[in-house]
Structure 1
Amino acid sequence: MTTFVSAPGGSRHLLSLREATRDSLEALLIRAQAFAEGHYDHRALAGTAVCTLFFEPSTRTRLSFQLAVQQLGAHVLSFDASTSSTTKGETALDTLKNIEAMGVRGFVVRHRDDGAVAELAAHVRPGTCLVNAGDGRSAHPTQGLLDMLTLRQAKGNDFSRLRVAIVGDIKHSRVARSDVQALRALGAGEIRAVGPASLLPDDGTLDGCIVGHDLDAALDGVDAVMMLRLQRERMEEGLVDSLEDYHRDYGLTVARLKRAAPDAVVMHPGPMNRGVEITDEVADGPQSLILTQVANGVAVRMAVLETLLKG
């Protein structure tokens, strides 16, 4: 199967990277690289309207999608749940159907509930396309794609040589799930998943990964370190003793980073809890690609929107 899900009536959606193939991912990454280098048609989606339908807060994802829409010459509508009719009891589906009735063809949806975007996609008109901008703990496919583009730029096209460590709150991270799926599809040589036992999933997410609880051991010789935010807002119970203890055991410091390969790169999807999962010196240091990830987000989202809405 390809990265994009085809639906009756000619609609296509990007819901997750779970069944993505190497070919489909590489095609998207090549296209995104062209966008990153400025090679694209500024009017590719002229006359098209895209709505960023966000039911959760966002900075990087929302703004980069809006910029991607504008760069392609389309109209962008920004939906804010806090000032919308959802505060009066309107359902997410009714909200989408009403905006769709205005002639909007593309929707970029973020929702707090697992599977919410797929449920919405099942009820749209033929020709309407949805992009999952993060649903619950399930998936964040464009973040996974931009992370792969960032790794590809830094380390080359052959992922089979890469040893990648994913560190922290994997249990609550939709980013981690999409990254693991993409790394598997691209044939990453070794995926190491590390965190406290209470923050590691037992749902098959980490099948095929080397799973551990010792950050120092997991960092030995890795080529890339993907740090994750401690997502306290998604925790139903206290799963870490204290932020200080978490930083002591799982915070990335300059000293710890020395255990990785000399040319190892550091990534983080943001927002960062500085002093918790990562120190200022590492986040702002020479091995950090965190702002490169942000920049690549625009190019990746342009490639996704063009592919979905133009073909």
Structure 2
Amino acid sequence: MTAHALYQPEDRELDLSSLSTTDHGLVRSLVGRIGPGDRVLICLEPDDAERDELYVEERHGRYYAVHFEGGQHVVALESDEHKRQKEYWHRAAEDAGYRSDTGLGTGTGTVLDVAIHGPVRTGVELRRSDVTARAAALNTSGAHRAGWLPLWFSDADRTPKWFHRIPSVGCNRIPWDDLPPRRAATATGLRLVHAARCTTENFPRCFDRKRRPCGGYHPLLRPWRGVTVDDVAEMVPAGEAVPLRTPERWVYVVPRFGLAHYQQLTGGLGAYLPDAAPAPVERRVRSAGRSWPACRGCGRDMFLVREDRELCENCKPMMRDPL
């Protein structure tokens, strides 16, 4: 089980499953030195509502971060694959003419895998597919508060839960046994914005929430093909590729003019601003033993619930995202 934890003395986030050699030595040094109430290592996983403390123990040469209340997380070194992915992004940024750093602390508890110092300061996060959407939101908010545009990268075959919940980019499946050649990684998950007439062929439901197709023009998002990861490392820091957020809170990286086109078609929608990670939703226990989350707006029970949704249908009607 992987986890992100806050090392309180330095106010710094650690990915316990992918530690640098220095941070792995730091965590190893905590064996036998943490007691209840010391608040040295704090679990940041979303299911840990109380932010449980962790202590470190060694068993047969392996290290674990253990909850005082039970449960544990494996402590492991950063993989060679992770190192080469960082090197690939770092090289691509340098080739584009930007200064780039690896392992840069933001001062808000997060550490950027690759920091690209362009007109738009971009922090690339090379994250595992098992990171939850809530943990991703926490990290993204911290980087944004420090003045960085976070961009999360995954080459996993399985789509991570956080993909398109924050600015994200994937790539084609390539081996990372050695550093791949320049432009070998094809970017995936990017979108282009097109204007399409509101018909049943283009939209399952009218973008403006009308019951029938209105016949007008709405934005339709389609894959942006032929772009490499090297291109992304150049375009995002230059502001030529930007995040777009739909009314359903999906986030896509699109061309800068694509965002302008989307806003023209929607009356100004589409601007992206990271959310703070949603707090655990309060649930009311009903007499039959079943519970429902309470709406943050009116306080009524929410019988139709989607991930990260805090307002009921009356307070904020749901909209379908364009296909």
Q: Shared fold by TM > 0.5?
A: no
Whose strand proportion is higher, 1 or 2?
2
More helix by share: 1
Q: TM-score, normalised by structure 1?
A: 0.27
Q: TM-score, normalised by structure 2?
A: 0.26
Question: Which structure has more RCO (C-alpha within 8 Å, separation ≥ 6)?
Answer: 1
Q: Which has the larger Rg?
A: 2
